[in-house]
Structure 1
């Protein structure tokens, strides 16, 4: 029988302190060589255990085997120089030192397939695997070769499609593309961003998702959110086109957010991953607070299409806080499931 309101996380979960420095983005590994491989696998087991104990239905790797949700994928591609770094502004918000595109980008070998295959051996639950979306990838690089964001995005889309097909082949049930850039570059999203995303999912039989959030709880993102006014209506610019797209699930941010809930009406018919956990605070939600967000969302999305989730990844949080938030998600969903079954 299909699970009602299946829960999942949007992306990263904190790594154990013996693997990488806690509460830090882009944290370097503390292990190397064979020890690092074993350590990553141990971290996968632990993150899976945390999800199981919290009652998460669609589990993930918690991004335990990667340093960053975008650059770890790019590191494995040809045509990108990580030594020749340039400073660019990421999503019009903050400066970062990023690698340079110096030639045609290609994927010589699988990136996450072995990790996904290992995770598949650990669980019988559905697995969700996150990949960076084409537009967010180009926004995390300096392009000294293509001189065209769109051309580079199409090449990334082809590479992502190769990776996604191999992930599907080893048993991944949902492939999610992370596109926080969709909340910033509206014209490009509608001109070619969604089209490149559809190229990335071409030929897949598993479920596909796009995750569009307002970012981790880091200062640059919080400062940006403070400029957005009383209502955050960015989704309004892109939802109509996404509603017509081939993507199955759309992941959005709702908890402690100024996103008007009725914007979900614009993607009526799609499955919606409703962010019911705020990742920008250490305060652990009560199950009732989680339930309240889900009740509001149910006014605009049918129960069989509602997938409770977190707003974004939780890598910058402590493991204790992240566990508490996972447990709150699971408990809050149970409240609403009972209400719906009456």
Structure 2
């Protein structure tokens, strides 16, 4: 029997302090060569164990083998020069030094497939694997070749499709595309962003998801949220078209956010990963708070389509906080499961 309200994380979990500087994005590795390879695999095992001990149903890799959810994938592509860096405004929020696209982009070899196989060997649970979405990838680069956001996004969509097909063959059950840019470039999302995403999932038989959040709990994002007013209605402009798309699951930020949960009715019929854990605070939710977010979501999402999740990745959080938040998620879900099964 299929599990009611299967739990998962949005993606990243904190890395162990012996592998990389904790509580930071783009944190350099502390190991090199063969030691780094084994260190990443050990971190993957720890991440798996942490999720299993917390009772998470759909396992992720915790992004233990990558420095950053976007740039690590881009590092493996040709046509991008990491030595030639430019400062760009990321998602209209903060400046970052990013690599430059200097020629046609292509993927010479698989990026995460070996890691996915390793994880698959260590668990029989369903696995979800996150990849950066095309629009978020183009927003994390300086393009000196295509001179067109849309053209570059379509090229990335083809590359992502190649990677996704190999991840599926390695035993991944759900492939998730991270598209925080979908909450910012609303016209582009409807003009070509969703179509690009559909190109990235072309031919896949496994389930597909898109994760659209308001970002990690870093200062640039929390400052931006303060400018968004009393209601965050970005989802309202993009969900109707996503509802008609071929994407199976839509992952959204819900807990402690100002997103009116009635917007979930715009994707009625889709599976929804409902973010019930706030990743922008060290305060640990109570199981009852998690349960309350899920009860509200259940007014607009059928129980068999609701997948409790975290709002976003937890890489910048202290490890003990992230672990406690996972425990709160599963405890809160159990309260609601019991209510539904009465």
Smaller-chain TM-score bracket: over 0.9
Q: Map Cα deviations across residues 79-120 of structure 1 (whole Å, 9 max, x no partner).
A: 000000000000000000000000000000000000000000
C-alpha separation between the residues in 1 aligned to 2:234 and 2:224? 13
Secondary structure, aligned partner of 2:251: strand
The aligned runs of 1:1-40 (5 Å cut-off) are 1-40=1-40
Structure 2 counterpart of 1:209:
209
The aligned runs of 1:1-342 (5 Å cut-off) are 1-342=1-342
C-alpha separation between the residues in 2 aligned to 1:105 and 1:214? 28
Q: What is the aligned length?
A: 342
C-alpha separation between the residues in 1 aligned to 2:102 and 2:131? 22
C-alpha separation between the residues in 2 aligned to 1:261 and 1:31? 44
TM-score (norm 1): 1.00
Offset of residue 168 of structure 1: 0.1
C-alpha separation between the residues in 1 aligned to 2:326 and 2:336? 16
Offset of residue 320 of structure 1: 0.2
C-alpha separation between the residues in 1 aligned to 2:103 and 2:328? 46
Offset of residue 29 of structure 1: 0.3
Q: Map Cα deviations across residues 213-253 of structure 1 (whole Å, 9 max, x no partner).
A: 00011111011000000000000010000000000000000
Supply the RMSD in Å over aligned alpha carbons: 0.3
C-alpha separation between the residues in 2 aligned to 1:141 and 1:241? 26
Offset of residue 297 of structure 1: 0.2
Offset of residue 16 of structure 1: 0.2
5+ unaligned residues in a row in structure 2: which ranges?
Answer: none
C-alpha separation between the residues in 1 aligned to 2:222 and 2:323? 23
Q: Map Cα deviations across residues 142-170 of structure 1 (whole Å, 9 max, x no partner).
A: 00000000000000000000000000001
Offset of residue 276 of structure 1: 0.1
Secondary structure, aligned partner of 2:215: coil
C-alpha separation between the residues in 2 aligned to 1:250 and 1:14? 24
TM-score (norm 2): 1.00
5+ unaligned residues in a row in structure 1: which ranges?
Answer: none
Secondary structure, aligned partner of 2:119: helix
Offset of residue 210 of structure 1: 0.1
C-alpha separation between the residues in 2 aligned to 1:11 and 1:101? 26
Offset of residue 68 of structure 1: 0.1
Q: Map Cα deviations across residues 252-304 of structure 1 (whole Å, 9 max, x no partner).
A: 00111000000000000000000000000000000000000000000000000
Q: Map Cα deviations across residues 135-192 of structure 1 (whole Å, 9 max, x no partner).
A: 0000000000000000000000000000000000010000000000000001100000
Offset of residue 201 of structure 1: 0.2
C-alpha separation between the residues in 1 aligned to 2:11 and 2:76? 20
Offset of residue 15 of structure 1: 0.2
C-alpha separation between the residues in 2 aligned to 1:28 and 1:211? 25
